[in-house]
Amino acid sequence: ITTRLVGSEMCIRDRYICVQKGVVISMGITNILLLVLGYVLLLFSTKLVNGGGISIMRKGPTSDAQERIFSWFALSLMPFLSIAISGGVLGLGNMVFTAALTAGVLQLLLIYGMLGITGTYRLAGNALRDLVLLLVCVVILIVCTNYTWSKGHPASTISRGMGLFLCVLAVAFTVWMLPYFMGKNRKLQRRPDTDFVPAIVFTLVGLALAGLGGVLLMNNTAALTHALNIEQGVLGVAVIGVGLVLPEYVRVARKYWMNTQKPVSMHLTLATGNLGLLLMIGLSAVISPIIVTFAGAYLLLACVVAIIVFGILFYVGGEVGKIKALLFLAGFALVFVLLMKFSLH
């Protein structure tokens, strides 16, 4: 009788474990599907906001420069804003922090590494100045986070006040960048009239979808980190950060393939990275202070090394081929593997 009871208990326990695993797997699949839906809504919303907003501007006199600025906001900055606000509201600041570092700094290794796999290219424009500015932004973040570590705390906090300071820097950087977007022809030009009401509807629907996409993306990524029992920062790099980098890679690669001389301008990529870095972390910290762990500190130092090594490799030899491209991608893989090592618990 005792043997039968023990056997039945083991059978029930095994069935319970199987059911529990099935529930976890089904929840994981659901989270991944909702995460993908968040990306789709976020990308679709940029098209709606861009098209609707430009149509609204065309009701009056507008210029090519105004449309370029609005397109930059809709296609590059709006996803950053959506992620920052969603992360702040949901209390996922650590995930926003690592995603911002990936989209702002580590994108250099991903974009120009993947670009070099397809062929040899060279730089066009003043990339050194932009790299130095990006390095300065990362150093500012190190100073912001090192204050409490120096007092022996196991983690650092980016306070609301420090977040507001970063937002002010982001605004100042935007003002400094305006002449680049205005271009040579800054005269207002009359555009064709468009239907005003649909343009407003498209813009509002796009903004709503952007908010929903950001919430789905952040919330379900956080659920996956809990299911996998890893720190939020890991998937902040692998899912959120890499996802924000891919549209910029498509833009750079498209211009590269369409240009027969193959000069690659880094100016817009680095400008977006600088602004995204300050704006995402600053805005998220203003909503809810960000707790930065030692894994985040490691990622900051890795970003400093990445910028320096990236600059050296770019300016030694003048051109980037498959060997340098593989070094860039290997560098990103190394950063991620070490981040996993610091973050697993």
Rounded average pLDDT over 272-289? 90
Rounded to an integer, the average pLDDT of 137-150 is 75
342 vs 270 pLDDT, higher one: 270
pLDDT in the model for residue 268? 81
The predicted structure's pLDDT at residue 19 = 44
pLDDT of 79 higher than 80: yes
Residue 186 has pLDDT above 60, yes or no: no
Instruction: Quickly state the pLDDT bin for 153 (edges 50, 70, 90).
Output: low
Residue 240: per-residue pLDDT: 87
pLDDT of residue 287: 93
Report pLDDT for 169: 92
In whole numbers, what is the pLDDT of the chain averaged over residues? 79
Q: Give the pLDDT band (50/70/90) at residue 284.
A: very high
pTM for the model stands at 0.84
| Span of 12-26, 180-194, 204-218, 327-341 with lowest mean pLDDT | 12-26
| pLDDT over 90 at 228, yes or no | no
Confidence of residue 192 (pLDDT cuts 50, 70, 90): low
SS3 of the chain: the string is CHHHHHHHHHHHHHHHHHHHHHHHHHHHHHHHHHHHHHHHHHHHHHHHHHHHHHHHHCCCEECHHHHHHHHHHHHHHHHHHHHHHHHHHHCCHHHHHHHHHHHHHHHHHHHHHHHHHHCCEEEECCHHHHHHHHHHHHHHHHHHHHHHHCCCCCCEEECHHHHHHHHHHHHHHHHHHHHHHHCCCCCCEECCCCCHHHHHHHHHHHHHHHHHHHHHHHHHHHHHHHHHCCCHHHHHHHHHHHHHHHHHHHHHHHHHHHCCCCEEECHHHHHHHHHHHHHHHHHHHHHCCEEECHHHHHHHHHHHHHHHHHHHHHHCCCEECHHHHHHHHHHHHHHHHHHHHHHCC
**What is the pLDDT, as a whole number, of residue 1?**
54
> In the structure, what pLDDT confidence band is assigned to residue 145 with cuts at 50, 70 and 90?
confident
Residue 168: is its pLDDT beyond 90? yes
Please tell me the least confidently modeled range out of 142-151, 289-298, 322-331: 142-151
Average pLDDT over residues 171-200: 70
Instruction: Decide if pLDDT at 23 tops 50.
Output: no
> CA gyration radius for the chain?
23
Whether 2 shows a pLDDT value over 70: the answer reads no
